[in-house]
Amino acid sequence: SGGPTPREIEDVLAEIGTALDVDAALTLSEYNPPPSHRRAAGDLAYVKAVMPDGLCVHVTATPLGFYVSRSTGERYDPRPVVGKGDNSCCFSHSLLDCLLLRSKSLRTAWAAAIQASQRRADYLTSLPPDSNDIFAA
In the predicted model, residues of the chain with pLDDT beneath 50 are 137
pLDDT tens per residue across span 7-38: 888 888 888 888 888 999 999 999 999 999 99
Report the alpha-carbon distance of residue 76 to residue 79 in Å, rounded.
9
Report the alpha-carbon distance of residue 32 to residue 62 in Å, rounded.
13
Long-range contacts of 59-65 (CB under 8 A, 24+ apart): 59/95, 59/98, 59/99, 61/95, 64/93, 65/91, 65/92, 65/93, 65/94, 65/98
